[in-house]
Structure 1
């Protein structure tokens, strides 16, 4: 089932999400619905806060990046078929040089900006069967994981922009929160005026 994606301006996107346990109601169904929602919006990641759930759960599928000719064969291979659910994730370490990459977000449609992030990330998490993992990723995989992890920490990629960039985007972000934007997937806008 496709769930509306929460737009910029909704308070749920600013909450530090809560951990869950294996008894979380309908977790398997929720994860399936999140995959459907993410693919319907052509995303490579989706966090539970983006569908209005302030819980520490996010999904990543970097397969669409594996067609990028500018990447090395090793990078393309790492991205192809990388599909995981991350529950109760905790970034243990971010290392390496800062590097910029143009990011976007399903909750902030039609806004893309260069964001600097560390090149390597070590993360511990539970999979959908609550089996624990501790893994290290680099490059685009690390970036997508960092972006989605930020969501469960109440952080958006626009928070990482310069003060000037934030000022320049302020009007567009306000329009997004009011639903004054054309988007080809289901969304919920926090400040949209209700029809009378």
Structure 2
């Protein structure tokens, strides 16, 4: 009996150590991406880091969840540096008839594609987009453009048990696009969270350096 108990304890310790190692690795990669894109992040008070859910809809780098609220928040950052560098290099000597698009002009269309993917991949006219006034998004997030979408989430590997998502999009020219996903189970909970002081503080957890 003692041997069995010791074996179970050993398995538990190893599993806990592996889980902690994975969490540390995720945080390190996320921190490196923040440094690369000139962003700052403050983990919302009352949240704990949770594992990344592998899915086919939208990759993200970091996630937290509240213990006392039906709310999970996922963070994704897409650096624009390589694409902008490639585009600027192409502009120096474009080939006849070849057309390329400035990556900085694609933020809105990319946001819609991400929203469709998160929602389940099908066209959904209910997915709108509310853009922030330019002066506000600059002052509050250090971004050049941004806004929010409310997305009904279908049964996907991204949504898992969640049914609604508030997506915050931020774009800074030639630097990065970031996406923050606030996931919850009902529209009523989503509406309530928009009036929750702690959740609103969390809304500003990720931003570009001023």
State the TM-score, normalizing by the size of structure 1: 0.27
Question: Quick check: which one's strand share is greater?
Answer: 1
Q: Who wins on radius of gyration, i.e. which is larger?
A: 2
Structure with larger RCO (C-alpha < 8 A, sep 6+): 1
Question: Quick check: which one's helix share is greater?
Answer: 2
